[in-house]
Chains A and B, each alone.
Chain A
Amino acid sequence: MQSPCSGVDPCMLICAFMSTTEFSTWVFLSSVLAGLLGSLTGLGGGVVIVPVLTLLFHVDIRYAIGASLVSVIATSSGAAAAYVREGFSNIRIGMFLEIATTLGALLGAYLTAIISTHAIGIVFGLVLLYSAYASFRTHPHSVRRTPNPLALRLKLQGSYPGPNGEEAYVAQHVPAGLSLMFLAGTLSGLLGIGSGAVKVLAMDHAMRLPFKVSTTTSNFMIGVTAAASAGIYLSRGYIPPGLAMPVMLGVLLGSLVGSRILMKADVKTLRLIFATVIVLLGIEMIYNSVAGRL
C-alpha cells in the first residue's frame, strides 16, 4: 500500500505537515482498500482499518476503533437487503442471539476505558490472526436435524434453499452458542469490529447451523451489535467526525465494490493474498503493542 506514512519517524514528520484535506484523502483511500479487503475475505472492513489507522497514520487506537465501528454499521446495514433476498438469514435466531451480542458489546465498550491501549492492541492482533485462520477453515457439513427441546421451544429453527430443495435445520447447543455470542459482542465493543468470525464460529460450529445461514445471519447481527457500543463510544468522545467521515465513506465504498467483485469472480487467489496481509497486520499489531508503541 502506498502511503506517506510507511516508516515510523519520517511518517510522524510527513503526517504532521499534511493538511486536513491531504490527510482526509489518504485516510479515505486507505479505507476504500480496507473495505475491499474486508469484503473479499469476508472479515469486514473494521479488522483492516483499525491496524491501518494505528500503524500507518499513528492514530490513537481509541479514535481508530471509534471510526471503525461506524463503518462496521454502514457495511452491515448496506449489505442486509442483498443477503435477505437470498433467503438464508434467520431473523428469529439473529434476534435471539442479539441479546447476548448487545450485552457483550456494552461490556466491551466499558472495557475500552479500563484496559490499556497496549492490551487492546495485543487482543486485536490475536483476533486478526484468528480471523485469517478462520477464513480458511473448512466447514464440516453436518447440519443437525435432531430435535433439540430447548431450541424448538425458542423456535431456533428454519429452512433454507439447499442444493436439493428446501432443507430444514434446528439449532443445537444453545447455551454454548449464546456464550460465544456474548464473547463476539465483547470483542466487537472492545475493538470496534464486527467480529463476524466469532459469530460464525458460534452459529456454524457450536449451534451447527448451515454455513450459509450462519454467515448471512451474522452479517445481519453485526450492525445491531455495533450500534450497542456506538452510543457509549459517542458519549466517551471516541468518534471524531473529521476522522470518522473519510473512514465511513471509504469503507462503505470499498465493501460495495468488493461485493460486486465477489459475485463475478473466483477470488481464491485474492483471498490467499489478503489473508497473508491480515496475518502480517496481526503480527505488526502485537509487535507494536508489546514494544509499547500503541
Chain B
Amino acid sequence: MNDQKLELLIGHLLRIGVTLAALVVFAGGVLYLHQSRGPRPDYSSFHGEAQALRSPSGILKSLPSGNSNALIQVGLLLLIATPIARVIFAAIGFSLERDWFYTAVSLIVLSILLYSLLADH
C-alpha cells in the first residue's frame, strides 16, 4: 500500500462517515421539529447544554427514551469520530509501511483527540 492509495481510502472513509452523520442529524432534526412545543429555545444567554447531553456515555443513555436531542448528538458524535477514525487508519497505514516514526506521530495525535473526547472537562 502506498501513501496515495492509503489517502484515497481514508478520503472515502471520511466521506462515508460524514454522510452517515448528516443522515442521523437529519433524522434527529425531523424528530426534534416534530416534538417541539411552545417557545423556541433561547440561545441569547449561555447556560450550557443539559448535563446528560454533554458526554458520549450520557448521550447514548438518553437515546432509548426517544429523545430527539440525543439522536442529533449521536449524529454529531459520529461526525467527531470521522477525523479520529482517519488518524487511526493513518496509524495502521504507517505501521504497515513499517514507518515507526509516523506511526508514533499518529498515535500522539490520536491520544490528544481521545483525551479531548473522553476526559471530563
Cα distance, A228 to B110, chains bound together (Å): 9
**Which chain A residues border B32 with CB–CB below 8 Å?**
20, 241-242, 245
B58-113 with Cβ < 8 A to chain A: 68-70, 72-73, 76, 79-80, 82-84, 86-87, 90, 99, 101-102, 105-106, 108-109, 112-113
Residue in A73, A228, A245 whose CB lies within 8 Å of B82: A73
Closest Cβ of chain B: how far from A140's Cβ, in Å?
A: 28
Q: Which residues of the partner chain B approach A89 to less than 8 Å between Cβ atoms?
A: 7
Q: How large is the interface on B (under 10, 10 to 19, 20 to 34, 35 or more residues)?
A: 35 or more
The answer, among A18, A63, A91, for a CB contact under 8 Å with B46, is: A63
Residue of A nearest to B5 (CB): A84
- Total A-B pairs in contact (CB under 8 Å)? 205
Q: What distance in Å separates the Cβ of B70 from its nearest Cβ neighbour in chain A?
A: 8
Q: Are B18 and A229 in contact (CB under 8 A)?
A: no
Interface residue count on the A side (C-beta < 8 Å) = 67
Q: Is A124 an interface residue (CB 8 A)?
A: no
Query: Which residue on chain B has the smallest CB distance to residue A226?
Result: B83
Judging by beta carbons under 8 Å apart, are A77 and B120 in contact?
A: no
B109-A77 in contact (CB<8A): no
Q: How far is the CA of A73 from the CA of B87 in the complex (A)?
A: 14
- Give complex CA distance A252, B26 in Å: 12
23 examples of A-B residue contacts, CB within 8 angstroms: A19-B39, A58-B44, A63-B43, A73-B79, A73-B80, A78-B15, A80-B10, A81-B8, A84-B8, A85-B11, A99-B108, A102-B113, A105-B116, A109-B121, A224-B109, A228-B113, A230-B117, A231-B115, A234-B76, A237-B50, A241-B72, A245-B25, A248-B25
Question: Which B positions have Cβ atoms within 8 angstroms of A?
Answer: 3-4, 6-8, 10-12, 14-15, 17-18, 21-22, 25-26, 28-29, 32-33, 36, 39-41, 43-51, 53-55, 68-70, 72-73, 76, 79-80, 82-84, 86-87, 90, 99, 101-102, 105-106, 108-109, 112-113, 115-121
